């Protein structure tokens, strides 16, 4: 019987920007359907890791496999299964929310009805015809979430997904990007306790190097305090 | 082709909404004609001088368009969004080159009559069919090379400077061929057909750079 490959597998992953080491010796395995919280101070390498997993950055050393497919060689085979919500919303400011989502839907060959569906899911259907430049940050973030889940990805890479969202909006997007979404997730958060609460696995990074990888129950307050000290 | 049309449609929509690129190109071209009008201290020009003035002006206006071609992709995450989609990377080259071609054509629809009004001695009518052919070939070359170089320049910090610095030298062969093909058209006794030799050179130049751009463009987009 064929076993399902892990959603993410990294072995000895490293990435440099010039002489600066952004990531090194990152080894992890995330089973399909699990949630991984990536913790660390600003500049620890969290966003770099997410961009490598999204196939937007090449690793300089080590191996990365997404759903069993090696990156970047077979990135084309997994791109349709990935959804990235990064610091940038990846939306054109001069286009309306609907036009932006239509554009992404066409690129991903998603039916137009799905655009209406996700706009309603993030409660942006009434402002869908406004140019993105006229929307508040929270609204833009909701549109960015709609963009990230538009093509029903099986792996969500979420970099500070609830940034700029008020508690109501945060609750609203829960079925799309929370545990209830039922997909594999990698998430970073400015609120490590909230990230730990919704994670099955934790990867703690310090200056690009893993200092903890395991279950959240083993990541106690002392470790958390040390990580952010 | 389908993906290229999706990206092109989006680019044209953004340009129609912002009107940032084509109006700036037109304005630069018209102002340059006025400068030439006074700088040359001649009421009218014709022949090779007219061809040189027209071609150089269009080239400088084109550089403005080239510089702005990837700005939205870079500043608003369009590159990442495109790279995350399961589509052929070459579609971006095709879409951007097509957008630049359309921007240049829109520029010429206004700039060529303005040139005839401010500077050109002989009537424009007899030269027009030949001129359209030459400018279409020139636009093709400018679009392909412009897209390739804009994709390189936009990755750098000094992109506003790098764009013109690397594009102008590479566009010199296109400038020469366009000017030489246009010269005989802008005379009083024009036959109306441009010299085939220069058209062939322009066509060959377009083909070589189109193949080169197709070969390397994917690598420019990837990390």
pLDDT, one tens digit per residue, over B199-214 is: 999 999 999 999 998 9
Give residue B128's domain range.
2-221
For range B174-187, the mean pLDDT: 92
Give the confidence band of B72 by pLDDT, cuts at 50, 70, 90.
confident
Rounded CA-CA distance A87/B122 in Å is 58
Quick one: closest CA in B to A92, which residue? B76
CATH number for the domain that contains residue A219: 3.40.50.300
pLDDT of A192 reads 86
Residue A201, CA atoms < 13 Å, CB-side half-sphere: 17
Kindly determine whether residue B84 and residue A76, on different chains, have CB atoms separated by under 8 Å.
Answer: no
- B→A contacts (Cβ < 8 Å), by residue, are 3, 6, 10, 13-14, 17-18, 72, 76-78, 80-87, 222-223
Chain A residues within 8 A of B18 when measuring between CB atoms = 94
- Check residue A182 and give left, alpha or beta (phi > 0: left; psi -120 to 50: alpha): left
Chain A residues within 8 A of B10 when measuring between CB atoms = 92, 95, 99, 103
Rounded CA-CA distance A157/A48 in Å is 11
Q: Does any domain span residue A193? A: yes
Chain B residues within 8 A of A131 when measuring between CB atoms = 17
Of A103, A108, A131, Cβ closest to residue B86 = A108
Give residue A193's domain range.
8-227
User: Which burial class, exposed, middle or buried, applies to A137 when counting CB atoms under 10 A from its CB (0-12, 13-18, 19+)?
Assistant: exposed
Selected for mutation to probe chain B from A54, A82, A87, A103 (highest B CB count within 10 Å) is A103
Chain A residues within 8 A of B95 when measuring between CB atoms = none
% chain A with pLDDT above 90: 69
Chain A residues within 8 A of B82 when measuring between CB atoms = 107
Over 90: is that where the pLDDT of A202 sits?
yes
For range A217-229, the mean pLDDT: 84
Decide: B178 and B138 in contact? Cβ < 8 Å: yes
Q: Does any domain span residue A2? A: no
pLDDT of B71 reads 84
Q: Does any domain span residue A37? A: yes
Count of Cβ atoms closer than 10 Å to residue A5 Cβ: 15
Give the confidence band of A1 by pLDDT, cuts at 50, 70, 90.
low
What ipTM did this prediction achieve? 0.88
Q: Does any domain span residue A1? A: no
Quick one: closest CA in B to A80, which residue? B86
**Strand ranges (E), chain A:** 8-17, 20-30, 35-39, 61-66, 69-71, 82-85, 155-159, 184-188, 201-206, 209-214
If one counts the domains in chain A, the total is 1
pLDDT digits (tens, 9 = 90+) for B119-134: 888 888 888 999 999 9
pLDDT of B218 reads 83
Rounded CA-CA distance B218/B223 in Å is 10
- Tokens read off for A23: 């990531």
Rounded CA-CA distance B190/B177 in Å is 18
Rounded CA-CA distance B223/B205 in Å is 29
For range A115-140, the mean pLDDT: 94
pLDDT of B223 reads 66
Over 60: is that where the pLDDT of A23 sits?
yes
Strands A184-188 and A35-39, sheet pairing? parallel
Q: Does any domain span residue A3? A: no
Rounded CA-CA distance A145/B89 in Å is 24
Give the confidence band of B217 by pLDDT, cuts at 50, 70, 90.
confident
For chain B, give the mean pLDDT. 90
Give the confidence band of A177 by pLDDT, cuts at 50, 70, 90.
very high
pLDDT digits (tens, 9 = 90+) for B8-56: 999 999 999 999 899 999 999 999 999 998 899 888 999 999 999 999 9
Q: Does A90 touch chain B (CB under 8 A)?
A: yes
Strands A184-188 and A69-71, sheet pairing? unpaired
pLDDT digits (tens, 9 = 90+) for B82-114: 999 999 888 999 999 999 999 999 999 999 999
Rounded CA-CA distance A26/A36 in Å is 14
Q: Does A87 touch chain B (CB under 8 A)?
A: no
- CA separation (Å) from B174 to A20, A47, B93, B194, B212? 42, 44, 20, 15, 16
Total-model pTM = 0.89
Coil/strand/helix, residue A24: strand
Quick one: closest CA in A to B77, which residue? A90
Closest C-alpha among B99, B114, B92 to residue B21: B99
pLDDT digits (tens, 9 = 90+) for A28-60: 999 999 999 999 988 899 999 999 999 999 999
- Check residue A8 and give left, alpha or beta (phi > 0: left; psi -120 to 50: alpha): beta
Give the confidence band of A227 by pLDDT, cuts at 50, 70, 90.
confident
For range A118-127, the mean pLDDT: 94
If one counts the domains in chain B, the total is 1
Rounded CA-CA distance A195/A216 in Å is 10
For range A199-211, the mean pLDDT: 92
B111-122 b/e (C-beta count within 10 Å ≥ 16 → b) = bbebbbebbbbb
């Amino acid at each position: 019987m064929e076993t399902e490959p892990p959603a993410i597998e990294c072995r000895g992953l490293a990435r440099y920007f010039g002489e600066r080491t952004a990531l090194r010796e990152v080894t992890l395995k995330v089973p399909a359907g699990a949630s991984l919280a990536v913790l660390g101070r600003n500049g620890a390498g969290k966003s770099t890791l997410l961009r490598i997993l999204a196939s937007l950055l090449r690793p300089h050393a080590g191996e990365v496999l997404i759903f069993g497919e090696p990156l970047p060689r077979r990135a084309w085979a997994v791109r349709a299964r990935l959804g990235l919500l990064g610091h940038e919303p990846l939306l054109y400011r001069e286009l309306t929310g609907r036009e932006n989502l239509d554009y992404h839907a066409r690129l991903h060959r998603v039916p137009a009805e799905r655009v209406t569906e996700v706009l309603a899911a993030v409660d942006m259907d009434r402002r869908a015809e406004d140019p993105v430049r006229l929307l508040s940050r929270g609204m833009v973030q909701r549109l960015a979430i709609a963009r990230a889940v538009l093509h029903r990805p099986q792996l969500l890479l979420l970099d500070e997904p609830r940034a700029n969202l008020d508690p109501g909006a945060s609750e609203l997007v829960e079925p799309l990007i929370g545990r209830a979404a039922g997909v594999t997730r990698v998430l970073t958060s400015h609120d490590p306790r909230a990230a730990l609460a919704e994670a099955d696995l934790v990867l703690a990074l310090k200056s690009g190097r893993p200092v903890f990888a395991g279950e959240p129950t083993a990541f106690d307050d002392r470790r958390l305090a040390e990580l952010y000290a | 082709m389908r993906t290229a049309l999706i990206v092109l449609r989006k680019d044209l929509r953004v340009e129609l909404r912002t009107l940032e690129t084509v109006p700036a190109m037109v304005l630069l071209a018209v102002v340059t004609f006025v400068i030439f009008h006074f700088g040359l201290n001649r009421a009218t020009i014709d022949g090779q001088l007219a061809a040189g003035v027209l071609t150089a002006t269009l080239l400088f206006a084109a550089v403005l368009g080239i510089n702005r071609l990837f700005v939205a992709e870079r500043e608003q995450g369009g590159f990442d969004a495109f790279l995350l989609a399961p589509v052929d990377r070459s579609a971006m080259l095709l879409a951007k080159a097509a957008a630049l071609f359309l921007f240049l054509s829109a520029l010429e629809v206004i700039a060529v009559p303005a040139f005839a009004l401010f500077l050109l001695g002989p009537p424009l009518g007899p030269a027009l069919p030949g001129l359209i052919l030459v400018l279409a070939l020139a636009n093709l070359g400018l679009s392909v090379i412009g897209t390739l170089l804009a994709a390189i320049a936009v990755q750098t910090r000094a992109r506003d400077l790098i764009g013109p610095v690397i594009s102008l030298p590479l566009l010199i062969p296109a400038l020469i061929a366009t000017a030489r093909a246009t010269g005989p058209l802008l005379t009083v006794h024009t036959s109306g057909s441009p010299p085939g030799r220069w058209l062939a050179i322009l066509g060959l130049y377009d083909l070589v750079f189109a193949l080169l751009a197709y070969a390397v463009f994917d690598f420019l987009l990837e990390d």
